[in-house]
């Protein structure tokens, strides 16, 4: 009898892990007051790059204050569909990419000129919907970062508005400023600094759907209901440069088709939120935890 | 004073005492440092531990801290294996004493000052002592190689039941010698780049650079080092278990040459990563791993057959059920080889599966998912090796009856549950989408953490019992002080 009970308990526990996740569970509707259309100016000059503080230099550039939002991306898709920059291919939005030089390195895969996926439309995690004519945003997600977007989709967005994805150096400088801090806001991380795995923000429920994105600029020192955030802007005033979503960067590495991402996400522990930490994936990869912002 | 002197002599002067100290130190480090990550961090336990112990965890130094932590634990495990070797194999008493003394001072120095440096304020004197500890362990390894020299006539094998050359050279001893020699050489593979990167403190974790298209020789060396050291610890524990169980007969005669060949080829492959042979190094490694794994399989077949034969000797025609019952009646003798089989399912099998389908599965995932698989893979391998040591230790301390059954089966079942959960966790992307993974992640994390926590509780109970035993004037420690592992090899 004892063994039957233990076995039943084990089966019950495992079945509990198979419960369906409600991907459309209600979201808190907080306004952050941060303008996703704003840009920050980053001056030319030296800064400390990477974990080991190597000296590096960038030209002056501007970078978006926040990640591209879902509303911004839907507006782009409507414009781009109208002028033929993107098209529908089954359940995907695709666009033309001129291809990369192939070096035949170990594990390198060719990225040839042609149409590549920008976003999937049939994935339940996709917050942009298409009714056959117009792209709209699932209500509540308008000011959340655009996710479920491939590197090509991020590249296409920035290019459409005469901007581009940041290089890794530009990204790190924008996040870090000119000192050696590990996080955009300083030396230490607390749960109220950023959206990361099990950071207990109001958008998270680790017992069911887990961690979800927070609206762009959420960690700005404001109090939402009874949840007080810390002002976590970078030295140049950028928000969400650590946590919330990984951000695609634009560098193309010789002998490697993977593209790098920075910043960590809602799904990673705080160690991945350190400025120099890199992630990478094939440029067709998309995820609920990957977004981007542009530079010009 | 005599009270302390007697206990000190047992703990630091006898094989079983030395093993007890090393297990206790590893258990304490595992228990405390295990609270700094995973669910313990999520629950806020890490913050309490950090505050309570006054740890100083600089974000930029995380990789360096982890490397020192891994080395601290690994050195204690290597010390345990060395104690077992010096206790099981014939060697000159002076060698045995010197090797055990040097490696004990070495691993304790490494552990205390390494962790002191990494987690408690980066005192540079501590870092120097940490390096000094590692150096002593290296020196003990060199002496072990000399002590194991198998061509000395004194160590020839007279019994034809064991693998030996025509002139009588003991091939099992050659296998131990080959593993010890290649371990010492492979340690240099870590020490040289370690000095190079360590001098500038530009450390990195191998799993974070795995996708870089161009790697430097030093980076390859680090990757090779960590793979081969773990593989050699596994080879060594297989040989130790074989000796303890008194592996012999025709399978022994086939297994030992295979183990020698596998060990040498495996090492040549790994060393090859820093030579022009790099493009084919992986193929050489596969070629070397195969005979080593075959040798372990032969040990498994022999030991299971022996257990079945012994357990059914009184029956004229045993049924399948009776044979099965005989196989599992002693978890401490059945467990080590079962764990090796389980290791091949959860570690080697998964590794090979992933390697074969590298471009279709593995490399489609983002690098962070690949990292989870890689780190999970070798954490499980390390932990399985630890459980094999604990199973042997259970026999060593003379557990009998129900306690033996409870201890042995608890280790086997709890570790197997935990490692199976880790394996599912590593592979989850194959059967659940990222957005829908949380419930399954929760269950797997709770299962693996609960199982590992119970395992540590069991270990804590054993350690507490051994501690209390030390206060008894006629405790078990007194008998163990005089016992040697070679006397307990099954006949």
For A194-209, the pLDDT digits (tens) are 999 999 999 999 888 8
Q: CB neighbours of B357 closer than 8 A, spacing ≥ 6? A: none
Positions of chain B with pLDDT under 70: 198-201
Domains and CATH numbers, chain A: 40-51+61-291 (3.90.1580.10)
Does the beta-carbon distance from A288 to B435 stay under 8 Å? yes
Cα–Cα distance for residue pair A69/A37, rounded to 1 Å: 9
**Residues for chain A: how many in total?**
296
Nearest Cα of chain A lies from the Cα of B261 at a distance, in angstroms, of 29
> Which of B200, B214, B438 is closest, CB to CB, to A210?
B438
B374 and B210 Cβ atoms separated by less than 8 Å: yes
How close, in Å, is residue A157 to chain B by CA atoms? 22
Cβ distance of A51 and B63 shorter than 8 Å: yes
Q: Which residues of B touch A198 (CB under 8 A)?
A: 41-42
* Nearest-angstrom CA–CA distance, B457 and B463: 10
Size of interface A-B (CB pairs under 8 A): 103
A245 falls in which pLDDT band (50, 70, 90)? very high
- How close B144 comes to chain A (CA, Å)? 39
A contact residues 209-238, partner B, Cβ 8 Å cutoff: 209-210
pTM, two decimals, is 0.92
B434–A289 C-beta distance less than 8 A? yes
Q: Which residues of A touch B62 (CB under 8 A)?
A: 271, 274
pLDDT at A17: 57
**B-proximal residues of A, 250-279, CB under 8 Å:** 253-256, 258, 261, 267-269, 271-272, 274, 278-279
pLDDT at A53 over 60: yes
Give the Å distances, CA to CA, from B324 to B79, B311, B312.
Answer: 35, 9, 10
- Compute CA distances B223 → B62, B130, B188, B209, whole Å: 18, 22, 13, 9
Contact A229, A218 (CB under 8 A): yes
Q: Answer whether A285 touches B (CB < 8 Å).
A: yes
Chain A residues whose beta carbon lies within 8 Å of the beta carbon of residue B442 = 17, 206-207
Q: Residue A1 has what pLDDT?
A: 55
- The pair of three-digit structure tokens given for residue A206, joined into one six-digit string: 């680790």
- Distance between terminal CA atoms of chain A? 70
Nearest to A238 by CA among A15, A4, A35: A35
H or E element in which residue A224 lies: strand A223-224
Of A17, A254, A281, the CB nearest to B444: A17
Mean pLDDT of A184-188: 95
CA distance A72 to chain B (A): 22
Cβ distance A17 to B363 less than 8 Å, yes or no, reads no
- The Cα-based distances of B170 to B135, B152, B294 in angstroms read 30, 10, 20
Q: With an 8 Å Cβ cutoff, are A198 and B59 in contact? A: no
**What percentage of chain A exceeds 70 in pLDDT?**
94
Mean pLDDT estimate for chain A: 93
Query: Is-contact B90 B123, C-beta < 8 A?
Result: no
CA distance B299 to B193: 36
Q: Suggest the residue from A270, A274, A281 to mutate for an interface test with chain B (most B CBs closer than 10 A).
A: A281
Burial class (CB in 10 A: 0-12, 13-18, 19+), B95: middle
- Position of tokens 């206990």? B7
Q: Which helix (H) or strand (E) holds B377?
A: helix B367-396
Tokens, residue A235: 């030295």
CB neighbourhood size of B192 (10 A): 16
Taking the C-alpha atoms of residue B306 and residue B301, their distance in angstroms, rounded to an integer, is: 8
Give the Cβ contact number of residue B184 at 10 Å: 19
The closest of A184, A158, A165, A294 to A241, measured between CA atoms, is A184
Q: Residues B323, B401: contact at Cβ < 8 Å?
A: no
Phi/psi for A212 (5° steps) reads: -125, 165
Extents of the domains making up chain B: 330-491
Is residue B53 within a helix (H) or strand (E), and if so which, with residue range? Answer: helix B45-53
């Amino acid at each position: 009898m004892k063994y039957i009970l233990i076995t039943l308990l084990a089966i019950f526990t495992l079945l509990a892990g198979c419960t369906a996740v409600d991907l459309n569970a209600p979201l808190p509707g907080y306004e952050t007051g941060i303008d996703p259309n704003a840009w920050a100016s980053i001056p030319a000059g030296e800064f400390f790059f990477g974990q080991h503080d190597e000296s590096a230099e960038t030209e002056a550039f501007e970078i978006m204050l926040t990640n591209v939002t879902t509303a911004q991306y839907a507006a782009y898709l409507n414009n781009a569909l109208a002028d033929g920059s993107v098209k529908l291919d089954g359940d995907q939005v695709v666009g033309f990419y001129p291809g990369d030089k192939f070096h035949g390195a170990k594990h390198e895969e060719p990225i040839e000129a042609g149409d590549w996926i920008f976003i999937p439309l049939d994935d339940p995690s996709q917050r942009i919907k298409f009714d056959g004519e117009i792209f709209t945003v699932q209500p509540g997600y308008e000011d959340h970062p655009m996710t479920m977007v491939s590197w090509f989709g991020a590249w296409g967005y920035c290019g459409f508005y005469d901007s581009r994805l940041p290089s890794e150096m530009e990204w790190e400088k924008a996040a870090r400023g000119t000192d050696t801090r590990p996080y955009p806001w300083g030396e230490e991380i607390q749960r109220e600094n950023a959206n990361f795995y099990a950071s207990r923000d109001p958008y998270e429920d680790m017992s069911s759907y887990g961690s979800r994105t927070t609206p762009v600029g959420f960690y700005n020192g404001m109090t939402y209901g009874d949840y007080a955030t810390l002002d976590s802007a970078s030295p140049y005033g950028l928000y969400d440069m650590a946590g919330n979503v990984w951000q695609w960067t634009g560098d193309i590495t010789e002998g490697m088709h993977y593209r790098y991402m920075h910043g960590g996400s809602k799904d990673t522990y705080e160690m991945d939120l350190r400025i120099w930490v890199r992630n990478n994936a094939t440029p067709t990869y998309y995820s609920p935890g990957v977004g981007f912002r542009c530079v010009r | 004073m005599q009270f302390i002197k007697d206990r000190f002599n047992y703990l630091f002067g006898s094989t079983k005492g030395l093993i007890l100290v090393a297990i206790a130190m590893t258990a304490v480090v595992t228990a405390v440092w295990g609270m700094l990550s995973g669910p313990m961090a999520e629950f806020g336990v890490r913050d309490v531990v950090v505050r309570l112990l006054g740890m100083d965890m600089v974000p930029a130094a995380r990789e360096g801290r982890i490397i020192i932590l891994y080395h601290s634990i690994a050195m204690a495990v290597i010390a345990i294996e060395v104690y077992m070797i010096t206790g099981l194999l014939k060697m000159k008493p002076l060698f045995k004493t010197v090797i055990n003394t040097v490696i004990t001072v070495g691993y304790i120095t490494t552990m205390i000052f390494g962790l002191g440096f990494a987690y408690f304020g980066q005192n540079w004197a501590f870092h120097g002592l940490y390096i000094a500890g590692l150096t002593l362990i290296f020196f003990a390894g060199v002496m072990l190689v000399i002590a194991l020299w198998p061509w000395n006539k004194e160590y020839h094998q007279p019994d034809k039941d064991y693998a030996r050359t025509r002139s009588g050279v003991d091939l099992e001893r050659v296998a131990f010698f080959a593993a010890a020699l290649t371990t010492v050489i492979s340690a240099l593979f870590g020490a040289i780049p370690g000095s190079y990167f360590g001098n500038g403190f530009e450390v990195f974790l191998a799993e974070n650079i795995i996708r870089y298209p161009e790697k430097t020789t030093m980076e390859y060396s680090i990757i090779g080092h960590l793979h081969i050291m773990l593989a050699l610890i596994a080879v060594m524990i297989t040989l130790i278990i074989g000796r303890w169980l008194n592996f012999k007969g025709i399978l022994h005669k086939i297994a030992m040459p295979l183990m020698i060949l596998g060990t040498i080829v495996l090492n040549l492959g790994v060393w090859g990563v820093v030579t022009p042979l790099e493009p084919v190094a992986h193929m050489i490694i596969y070629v070397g791993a195969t005979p080593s794994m075959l040798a372990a399989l032969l040990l498994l077949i022999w030991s299971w057959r022996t257990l079945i034969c012994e357990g059914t000797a009184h029956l004229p025609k045993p049924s399948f059920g009776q044979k099965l019952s005989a196989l599992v009646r002693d978890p401490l003798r059945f467990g080590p080889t079962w764990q090796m089989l389980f290791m091949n399912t959860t570690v080697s099998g998964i590794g090979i599966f992933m390697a074969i389908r590298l471009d279709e599965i593995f490399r489609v995932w983002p690098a962070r998912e690949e990292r989870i698989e890689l780190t999970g893979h070798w954490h499980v391998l390390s932990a399985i090796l630890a459980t094999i040591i604990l199973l042997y230790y259970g026999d060593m301390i003379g557990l009998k009856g129900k306690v033996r059954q409870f201890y042995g089966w608890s280790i086997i079942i709890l570790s197997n549950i935990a490692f199976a959960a880790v394996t599912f966790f590593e592979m989850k992307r194959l059967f659940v989408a990222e957005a829908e993974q949380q419930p399954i992640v929760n269950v797997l994390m709770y299962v693996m953490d609960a199982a590992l926590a119970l395992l540590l509780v069991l270990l804590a109970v054993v350690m507490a019992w051994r501690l209390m035993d030390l206060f008894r004037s006629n405790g078990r420690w007194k008998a163990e002080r005089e016992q040697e592992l070679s006397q307990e090899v099954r006949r």
